[in-house]
C-alpha cells in the first residue's frame, strides 16, 4: 500500500508539472478510509499566481485554478484509476493560499464493487 501511495504522489506531482509548468515541492497521498484517497501538495503556485496573491488577488487565482481543474478532471481521475484499479466516483480539490497548498480528493468505488461493475459493463458491450 505504501508503494501505491508513493506512486500516487509522484504521478500527481507529474501532472502538475506537465499542466501547470511546475510540480509541488512536497506531496503525500493518504487513504482517509477504504474509499477515499487524499493527496496533499505543497508550494504549488506558479510565478504569476504568486504575484497575484502578493497583490491580494486570491479570487482570480482561485477561479483560474478551479476552471483549469475542471477542464483537467479526466486526466486526474484516469491517473488514480490506473494506479488503484478502481473507478473514481467523485473528485474535487481544495486550494489554500496560506500555506500554499492543495488537497486533491478522490472518492473511489468500494473495493467489492469493481468486479460486478466490470461484469455489467461486459454484458452491455
Structural domain that includes position 89: 2-124
Q: What is the 3-state secondary structure (H, E, C) of 5-30?
A: HHHHHHHHHHHHHHHHCCCCCEEEEE
pLDDT of the residue at 22: 87
Q: Is 63 exposed, middle or buried (0-12, 13-18, 19+ CB in 10 A)?
A: exposed
- Pairing type for strands 36-42 and 100-108 reads antiparallel
Model pTM score: 0.86
**Per-residue model confidence (pLDDT) at position 117:** 64
User: Could you tell me which residues come within 8 angstroms of residue 8 by beta carbon, excluding any fewer than 6 positions away?
Assistant: 29, 37, 39, 80, 83, 84
Query: What residue ranges of the chain have pLDDT lower than 70?
Result: 113-119, 124-125
Total structural domains within the chain: 1
| Model confidence pLDDT, tens digit, residues 82-92 | 999 999 999 99
pLDDT, position 35: 96
Amino acid at each position: 500500500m505504501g508503494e501505491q501511495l508513493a506512486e500516487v504522489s509522484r504521478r500527481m506531482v507529474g501532472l502538475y508539472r506537465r499542466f501547470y509548468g511546475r510540480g509541488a515541492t512536497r506531496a503525500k497521498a493518504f487513504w482517509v478510509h477504504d474509499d477515499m484517497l487524499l493527496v496533499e501538495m505543497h508550494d504549488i503556485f506558479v510565478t504569476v499566481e504568486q504575484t497575484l496573491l502578493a497583490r491580494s488577488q486570491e479570487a482570480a487565482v482561485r477561479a483560474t485554478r478551479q476552471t483549469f481543474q475542471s477542464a483537467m478532471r479526466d486526466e486526474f481521475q484516469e491517473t488514480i484509476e490506473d494506479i488503484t484499479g478502481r473507478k473514481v466516483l467523485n473528485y474535487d480539490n481544495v486550494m489554500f493560499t496560506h500555506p500554499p497548498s492543495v488537497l486533491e480528493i478522490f472518492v473511489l468505488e468500494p473495493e467489492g464493487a469493481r468486479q460486478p461493475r466490470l461484469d455489467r459493463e461486459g454484458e452491455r458491450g
